[in-house]
Amino acid sequence: MKAVIGLGNPEVKYLKTRHNIGFMVVDKLLEKNNVTLSEKFQSFFGKKGDILYLLPKTYMNLSGRAVVELMNFYKLTVRDFIVICDDFTLELGTLRFRKDGSDGGHNGLKSIINLVGSSNFDRLKVGIGPIKENMPVENFVLGNFSQDETEKLNKVLSLAADSIEDYLRTDIQTVQNKYNKKHF
């Protein structure tokens, strides 16, 4: 069993923000695979075959709570899931798969690392940058994509969803070699 976990914030006002790109990628996967969601594990949760989909409703900074509930229920290890999140240090159009690593200042990753007790889980970082000069990080990540970015965003979401499907069929090394670059 594998879990695909998208990070974001659950309120409508955050729906189209940069910080919610993890939710957006999982939404694209759900649409492609005709998966419906229910509420479970403090999250929006879906399952198709041996793939679990999780969108924590705990808000970004407490994402680890939902992940731990899912892990405990399904007896998952840190090697059984991938987390999809935003990265403002990467340009929009860039994907970066990582096998493990630090939280990189991302509060969602920090929460997961702290609560599962390990940073040894796979992740897909989706670029949302570049950050505007002299703009506070919080304002940038909680801001919406511009009209000009929307066309590129749609391409990124489709590519990211495809890359996750490749990951589920293959392994982290294969998708790193294929997708870790700027695409658009």
Active-site residue list: 19
For residue 108, which of 23, 50, 46 has the smallest C-alpha distance?
A: 23
Residue 109's φ and ψ, nearest 5 degrees, are -65, -40
In angstroms, the CA 45 to CA 70 distance is 9
In angstroms, the CA 182 to CA 184 distance is 6
In angstroms, the CA 81 to CA 76 distance is 8
